[in-house]
Amino acid sequence: MIRPFIGYGRQSIDDADIVAVIDVLKSDYLTQGPAVEQFEVALANRVGARHAIAVSSGTAALHLSCLAAGLGPGDVGIVPTLTFVATANALSYCGATPHLVDVDADTLNISPTSFDITAIDKPVKAALPVHFSGLPVNIRQLREALGEDVVIIEDACHALGAEDIEGNIIGSCSHSDMAVFSFHPVKTITTGEGGAITTNDDKLASELRRLRSHGIERDTERLSDDAFDNDGTLRPWYYEQQGLGYNYRMTDLQAALGLSQLAKLDGFLSRRREITSYYDMYFEDLAHVKLPQSQLILRSISGQHLYLMSIDFDALGKNRTHVMQKLRDVGIGSQVHYIPVHRHPYHCAMGEFKNEDFPVAEQHYASTLSIPLFPAMTDGDVEYVSGHIKKIFQ
Ligand SMILES: Cc1ncc(COP(=O)(O)O)c(C=O)c1O
DSSP string, 33-87: SHHHHHHHHHHHHHHT-SEEEEES-HHHHHHHHHHHTT--TT-EEEEESSS-THH
Cβ 172 under 6 angstroms from ligand 1: no
Q: What structural domains and CATH numbers belong to the chain?
A: 15-262 (3.40.640.10), 265-393 (3.90.1150.10)
Question: Could you identify the atom of ligand 1 that is nearest to the CA of residue 83?
Answer: 1
Average pLDDT over residues 49-75: 98
pLDDT at position 3 over 90: no
Phi, psi angle pair for 28, to nearest 5°: -80, -25
pLDDT at position 181 over 80: yes
Per-residue pLDDT reduced to its tens digit, 273-309 = 999 999 999 999 999 999 999 999 999 999 999 999 9
Cβ 58 under 6 angstroms from ligand 1: yes
Average pLDDT over residues 182-211: 98
If one residue of 10, 55, 56, 59 were mutated to test the ligand 1 pocket, choosing by the most ligand atoms within 8 A of its CB, it would be 59
| Centre of ligand 1 from the C-alpha of residue 81, in Å | 14
105 and 293 Cβ atoms separated by less than 8 Å: no
Nearest to 137 by CA among 117, 98, 166: 166
Instruction: Kindly list the catalytic residues.
Output: 187
pLDDT of residue 35: 98
Average pLDDT over residues 250-264: 98
Cβ 17 under 6 angstroms from ligand 1: no
Cβ 370 under 6 angstroms from ligand 1: no
| Centre of ligand 1 from the C-alpha of residue 231, in Å | 49
Cβ 195 under 6 angstroms from ligand 1: yes
Q: How far apart are CA 355 and CA 336, in angstroms?
A: 17
Per-residue pLDDT reduced to its tens digit, 308-333 = 999 999 999 999 999 999 999 999 99
| Centre of ligand 1 from the C-alpha of residue 236, in Å | 38
Cβ 89 under 6 angstroms from ligand 1: no
pLDDT at position 219 over 90: no
Amino acid making up residue 41: V
Cβ 338 under 6 angstroms from ligand 1: no
| Centre of ligand 1 from the C-alpha of residue 184, in Å | 8
| Centre of ligand 1 from the C-alpha of residue 241, in Å | 29
Give the DSSP per-residue string, 142-155. Answer: HHHHH-TTSEEEEE
Cβ 84 under 6 angstroms from ligand 1: yes
| Centre of ligand 1 from the C-alpha of residue 139, in Å | 19
Closest Cα to atom 10 of ligand 1: 58
